[in-house]
Structure 1
Amino acid sequence: MSVDSELTRAGLPQAHRIVVKVGSSSLTEGGGSLDVAALRALVEVFAARRRSGGQVVLVSSGAIAAGIAPLGLSSRPRDLATQQAAASVGQGLLMAHYTQAFAQHGLRVAQVLLTAEDVVRRGQYKNAQRALERLLALGVVPIINENDAVATDEIRFGDNDRLAALVSHVVQADALVLLTDVDALYDAPPASPLARRIARVRTARELDEVAVTGRGSGVGTGGMVTKVEAAAIATGAGIPTLVAAASQAGRALDGDDVGTWFDARGRRIRTRRLWLAHAAHTRGRLQLDDGAVRAITHGKRSLLAAGVTGVEGHFEPGDPVDLVAPTGEIVARGLVAYSSEELPERLGRSSHELRELFGDGHNRTVVHRDDLVVVHRRA
């Protein structure tokens, strides 16, 4: 199926390539330890999909949860260092079970650990895309997780729902499936007797009156809020999304009327722009004048030093920064070509002045249009 065709729920069984995200709560038992039986049941569903000719990219949570019991912890740790330790122990255990479970179906798996830093820079991003495409071409099932052992609070995706949405665009998936411990999105808290399942979401406006609240389980970081946010990222980039219970994984992939289906809304954009808009944690802010704001938001031009009025934060060339209007509103995000030490003495200067003062090669654009994404277009 072409990635540009309009996929419906009924057409999901024929989709060539899907990204499936499995949450921690679907892979763990009540005490937080890994539920091997649940993992194997899910692998059986994914293996059946592979046998039918489809490709599956699996984004799996569960590393931190899998490390809780071996480390003798009573619950998911809250501090970053212990989370990283649990992830280091748990990731190996998680992959060992996945490797064994898929091997029983004659399938090989590959571990792919990503950080936001890995994919926001051009070189690392291209490597990630190339590696995933090659694994799929070789018939391998990539199993992706955020690299929690080295990620920091400042440089991370934040949750695997968001990561899955971005991965679905990197691999040009036909659909994204988010499996969780809640069977669908409801128009009221699911425990309410008046709550009704929302079977299909055609536009984001349909959710304006729906109260989407609540975190996930005690072993996960997400909840229905992050599922809806991930669906917005994916569908806004042309990829339909299904949110369903992990216990209904087989029926969900068969196209049955379970869960909540989010129609694709936008057209597919350049993948790096999607990563930049949703995955990058910026290192600084550049204050722009009104002319520069108009040039980058409406003129689709590169940002020049002449339009920059101020610099905040500490960053190096290639780091993501927010581009801010005189009102304080963030209008764009981009990869800066100068460090925070180099840029201040260039502010407000034309390309001609930069050449005269610093020589050839030092009059480059501050943010090239190919490394820039508009996040809010001013009237």
Structure 2
Amino acid sequence: MTASYDAISPARQAISSARRVVVKIGSSALTSLERGIHSASLDSLADAVEARMRAGSDVVVVSSGAIGAGLAPLGLTRRPKDLATKQAAASVGQLALAHAWGTSFARYGRTVGQVLLSADDFARREHHRNAQRTLERLRSLGAVAVVNENDTVATEEIRFGDNDRLAALVAHLVGADALLLLSDVDGLYDGDPRKGDANLIPEVRSRADLEGVIAGTGGVLGTGGMASKLSAARLAADAGVPVLLAAASAADEALGSGRVGTAFAARPVRLSARKFWVRHAADARGSLRLDAGAVRAVARRSSLLAAGITSIHGRFYGGDVVSLVGPDDDVVARGVVEYDSTELTGMLGRSTHELPDDLRRPVVHADDLVVV
């Protein structure tokens, strides 16, 4: 069923008027197994981005397709499953993809800067700030930043898993006002549109709008699929960034009026950079198991004290991010721990007045705690 966009929602208004925009483009919109990069498709997407930039917006492009772009030149007929071949394909494809974007934007006299990021760059605060400075400087110099995951060095343990999540993290990194996820799907449906009985969901205002929605996994060239797009959209919206999920073939409308696809409303208050990092970007170095009373306190966003901790898992140091786990094994929060794991071992279950003066700080301060 075709959705009606006669009444433009606040989310769509925010997306269409956004000053700073991140646009993620899926592999299937740019590459194929047989021909590698689709130059005409890439040019059309660059045209839409250029039109938005001329209208006054700053645009950062998150481009998938490095592995897909490297398959045909290497004579590969299917997406590889082993890590070494993926990395080899990416090393060829990243060069070709950067050249293609550079050539396309050169038609408008624009310079392209390639920025390759790994999950580790978001987990480490210093790397995070360096990436932020690079993207900001490219913007100030009038260049178009084209971001991709650094597939040539990423391992299965440290990769994003898909560029949808990368795009959501970049949107927060650059302080974007909107995120557009463009691929071969034209929006979120309440069922499988290939079966002909599914309806497009034009707006997602809260999690209640997602009840009963089943999201599938990726296609031939990509690693994402609707599941990753939905997860990324919720991540960005939770961080205060409205999201538009639409088809790459409708890039003109998506970057123009916004009257296509599915819009995700943002939470009213954007998470601070530190709390966003704690919740979404940093790797948890360990976990603390809490009793029921501590879980209730954490849910109220109170500081975590040693008295409410029943056990610790993993090795970590003061300043690391840890997961806070309830008695039923559910993760209830994440936070920055004040103590090393070895130091904390002797503090478990002890009330504050039982501890030496130098160990009376909260284990996780309320300011460094994010409920999940």
5+ residue gaps, structure 2: 1-8
2: CA distance between counterparts of 1:86 and 1:338?
43
Q: What secondary structure, in the 3-state scheme, does the structure 2 residue paired with 1:56 have?
A: strand
Paired residue for 1:330? 331
Q: Is the 8 A contact 1:199 1:257 kept in 2?
A: no
Letter in 1 for 2:270: R
Paired residue for 2:68? 65
Task: Indicate the RMSD between aligned Cα atoms, in angstroms.
Answer: 2.7
CA 115–345 in structure 1, closer or farther in 2 if over 3 Å, else same: farther
CA 345–92 in structure 1, closer or farther in 2 if over 3 Å, else same: farther
Q: Deviations over 1:198-252 (max 9, x none)?
A: 2223332122133x33223211011112222222122223222111111110111
CA 366–83 in structure 1, closer or farther in 2 if over 3 Å, else same: farther
- 2:219 matches 1:217: yes
Letter in 2 for 1:63: A
Paired residue for 2:164? 161
- 2:312 matches 1:311: yes
1: CA distance between counterparts of 2:36 and 2:141?
32
2: CA distance between counterparts of 1:224 and 1:143?
23
Paired residue for 1:270? 272
- 2:176 matches 1:173: yes
CA 344–115 in structure 1, closer or farther in 2 if over 3 Å, else same: farther
Q: TM-score, normalised by structure 2?
A: 0.87
The structural deviation recorded for 1:343 is 4.0
Paired residue for 1:141? 144
- 2:31 matches 1:34: no
The structural deviation recorded for 1:11 is 5.6
What does residue range 122-271 of structure 1 map to in structure 2 within 5 Å? 122-210=125-213, 212-271=214-273
Paired residue for 1:3? none
Q: Is the 8 A contact 1:121 1:318 kept in 2?
A: no
Paired residue for 2:4? none
The structural deviation recorded for 1:44 is 1.5
CA 146–315 in structure 1, closer or farther in 2 if over 3 Å, else same: farther
Paired residue for 1:287? 289
Q: What secondary structure, in the 3-state scheme, does the structure 2 residue paired with 1:78 have?
A: coil
- 2:95 matches 1:92: yes
Q: Is the 8 A contact 1:84 1:150 kept in 2?
A: yes
The structural deviation recorded for 1:145 is 1.8
More displaced, 343-352 or 332-341?
A: 343-352
Letter in 1 for 2:12: R
CA 78–306 in structure 1, closer or farther in 2 if over 3 Å, else same: same
1: CA distance between counterparts of 2:88 and 2:319?
30
Q: Deviations over 1:172-214 (max 9, x none)?
A: 222111101012222331122333322223332122133x332
The structural deviation recorded for 1:313 is 2.4
Letter in 2 for 1:184: G
The structural deviation recorded for 1:34 is 2.0
Q: Deviations over 1:307-357 (max 9, x none)?
A: 43322224455443211123322111123344545543454456787657x
Identity of aligned residues (%): 54
2: CA distance between counterparts of 1:355 and 1:219?
58
Letter in 2 for 1:195: A
CA 69–335 in structure 1, closer or farther in 2 if over 3 Å, else same: farther
Letter in 1 for 2:309: V
2: CA distance between counterparts of 1:44 and 1:128?
26
